[in-house]
Copies of this chain bind each other. A is one copy, B any other.
Amino acid sequence: ALAQSAAEIFAHQALTGKHVLITAGPTREDIDPVRYITNHSSGKMGFSLAEAAAEAGAQVTLVCGPVHLPTPDRVKRVDVTSARDMLAACEAAMPCDVLIAAAAVADYRPEVSAAQKMKKDPNSADGMTLKLIRNPDILATIANRNDRPFSVGFAAETENLLAYATAKLRDKNLDLIVANDVANAAIGFNSDDNAITIIDRQQQQTSFPQTSKGKIARQLIDFIATHINKV
């Protein structure tokens, strides 16, 4: 029992001395002062990862969009709203040893965010057209810096999961990608459980079956700690 405890303590300090930057939750992109575009991310996975990384001895910065979650112990939390805010907060938190991008960042934002609430014409049944432009790619931006950290992305998809995940790993210059089937309500957005497949640069796949997001987070943090010590 004593040997086991010592082993556990050792395993839990696998990230001592490392700065781990984690993004979590959705972003909100304003259409006008009242309306916005967002997504179903609850932030639970990113917050579980922040807690697990802190337990593993890391110094943790958690940059999060609007979520209803308490800050884990010994984690520095930075609250943001839009994708551009999130990128700026991540850049301000650099350098780091590991980036885990668990946030569901809006790919697009309205080209114009109206200063006043947009009025519909009460005498018209016409629709309207919302022009969207691309947001900056936070993960690719950080993963392509000269001082790039060990970079871990998430692929939350409803179809073709492993194909999309592998392409994203390559296109964004990542070290690992975590594939997450959000079409399955039991393990998707806002659920308490998750099941993941981790893919590395050699396209080797490691799967963790469905369990709590807290346990998945500890498994993933252990996996990352093993990988960075191999790099």
Interface residues of A (CB under 8 A from B): 31, 33-40, 68, 104, 106-108, 111, 116-117, 119-120, 122, 125-134, 156-159, 164, 167-168, 171, 182-183, 189
Q: Could you tell me if B37 and A37 are in contact, using CB atoms closer than 8 angstroms?
A: yes
Closest Cβ–Cβ distance, residue A190 to chain B (whole Å): 11
Q: Least Cβ distance of A15 to chain B in Å?
A: 30
Q: Which residues of B contact A157 (CB under 8 A)?
A: 117
Chain B residues, Cβ within 8 Å of A182? 33-34, 117
Task: Determine if B129 and A131 form an interchain contact, defined as CB atoms under 8 angstroms apart.
Answer: yes
Listed A/B pairs (11) with beta-carbon separation below 8 Å: A33-B158, A34-B39, A34-B158, A35-B39, A108-B120, A111-B127, A117-B157, A127-B133, A127-B134, A129-B130, A130-B132
Report the separation of the CA atoms of residues A119 and B35 in the bound assembly, to the nearest whole angstrom: 23
A37 engages B33 (CB within 8 Å): no
Q: Check B35 against A171 for contact (C-beta < 8 Å).
A: no
Residue of B nearest to A121 (CB): B134
Chain B min CB distance to A199 (Å): 16
Contact of A119 among B117, B120, B122, B164 (CB under 8 A): B164
Which of A133, A134, A156, A167 neighbours the largest number of chain B CB atoms within 10 Å of its CB?
Answer: A134
When chains A and B are docked, how far (Å) is the Cα of A213 from the Cα of B126? 35
Which residues from chain B contact A130 at a C-beta distance below 8 Å? 129-132
Given contacts A35-B38, A128-B132, list 10 more A-B pairs with CB under 8 A: A31-B37, A34-B40, A35-B106, A36-B40, A68-B68, A119-B164, A120-B134, A126-B134, A129-B129, A129-B132
